[in-house]
Amino acid sequence: MKKALVFWVEEYFYNPKTLQKLLSYLLLPLSWLYCFVMYLRYKMQKAEDFGIHIVSVGNLTVGGSGKTPLVTALAQKYTKSAVILRGYGRKSSGMIVVKDKYGICCNVQISGDEAMIYAKKLPDAIVIVSEERKIAIQKAKELGCEIIFLDDAYSKHDIKKRDILIHVETKNDFCLPSGPYRERLWKGKKALVVQEGIDFTREVHVNNPTPKMSLVTAIARPERLDKYLPSVVAKHCFEDHHTFTKEELETILEKDGATSLLVTLKDYVKIEAFGLPLSLLDLELKLGNKIKGTSKNSSDTQRESKKM
């Protein structure tokens, strides 16, 4: 039931059918109210300067957009960086140092899947999860970091930072609950707006490929993977951040007659301990000139937001 609801909502937000469009229009008064409240919230907040360079990578809509690989690509250029994120889906709360200069400090249940990706992909970075970003920023400074990357923090208007926004294509341009927009690019708010295929591209390869692979994935809008997939015997899509059990994955392997499960790194970090045959659909980003140097030297640019 939960899985079906999640996929219905993703369709409603990004590729609505006729009845979903009707519902979207019926909810417009609430959408206008929501967007106005978010604008007032933006206007009432004053950005605090933490005395350290901070870069936020996010998007204006709900759901996945490629923030994690973009943050990874940017942070890889530094030896004294920190990545800070909320840690959605983790079975913990408060501020937790997931990785320090000595190594990984907790398991994926405590960190959440996305934080563990950073911990494994960024050997030189500090990784911190915290609902309160300001507390985590202070901790990163204490640990000697010289630059901080915030995952999905455009809405933190009370933090002085450089914003990078990933543009996401959608046929529904409304704010919540009529559409997927959490906020707009408000007038006076500076951000570098980038788009996949124009400002950065993905380079995908499969680690440990086998003859008969079954795709298993729990990412938002899993259809994004289709153009990168090798030949697979079946596809099994779960809701974003789904917690897998060994038994359900063993059932998939047996049912499909698969020789391995093809997974993204986001899922790999959650199931590697199960000891099942896994193939990893790994990716790296190739950054264009618009993004290169953004973290320190490029001037801010702004794209006008769409009207409410």
| Predicted structure pTM score | 0.91
SS3 content of the chain, % helix, strand, coil (to 5): 30, 25, 45
Inter-residue contact 174 to 13 (CB < 8 Å): no
> How far is C-alpha 21 from the geometric centre of its chain's CA atoms?
26
Inter-residue contact 219 to 240 (CB < 8 Å): yes
User: What SS3 class is residue 67?
Assistant: helix
- pLDDT at residue 303 above 90? no
CA distance 306 to 295: 26
How confident is the model over 243-287, as pLDDT tens digits? 999 999 999 999 999 999 999 999 999 999 999 999 999 988 999
User: What SS3 class is residue 272?
Assistant: helix
Inter-residue contact 268 to 280 (CB < 8 Å): yes
Q: How is residue 305 annotated by DSSP?
A: P
Question: What average pLDDT does the segment 85-107 reach?
Answer: 96
Question: What average pLDDT does the segment 230-248 reach?
Answer: 95
**Residue 300's pLDDT is what?**
39
How confident is the model over 48-80, as pLDDT tens digits? 999 999 999 999 999 888 899 999 999 999 999
Inter-residue contact 33 to 150 (CB < 8 Å): no
Residues 257-283, buried b or exposed e (16+ Cβ, 10 A)?
ebebbbbbbbbbbbbbeeebebbbbbb
- pLDDT at residue 217 above 90? yes
Inter-residue contact 90 to 111 (CB < 8 Å): yes
How confident is the model over 114-155, as pLDDT tens digits? 999 999 999 999 999 999 999 999 999 999 999 999 999 999
**Residue 110's pLDDT is what?**
97
CA distance 80 to 141: 10
Of 42, 43, 119, the closest CA to residue 82 belongs to 119
Q: What pLDDT band is residue 292 in, cutting at 50, 70 and 90? A: confident
- Per the DSSP assignment, residues forming a β-bridge with 181 are 61, 175
How confident is the model over 23-52, as pLDDT tens digits? 999 999 999 999 999 999 999 999 999 999
Question: What average pLDDT does the segment 283-294 reach?
Answer: 84
- pLDDT at residue 293 above 70? no
Q: Judging by DSSP bridges, how do beta strands 103-104 and 147-151 pair with one another?
A: unpaired
How confident is the model over 176-208, as pLDDT tens digits? 999 999 999 999 899 999 999 899 999 999 999
Of 115, 108, 57, the closest CA to residue 86 belongs to 115
User: What SS3 class is residue 31?
Assistant: helix
**Residue 178's pLDDT is what?**
97
CA distance 70 to 127: 15
**Residue 2's pLDDT is what?**
78
- pLDDT at residue 232 above 70? yes
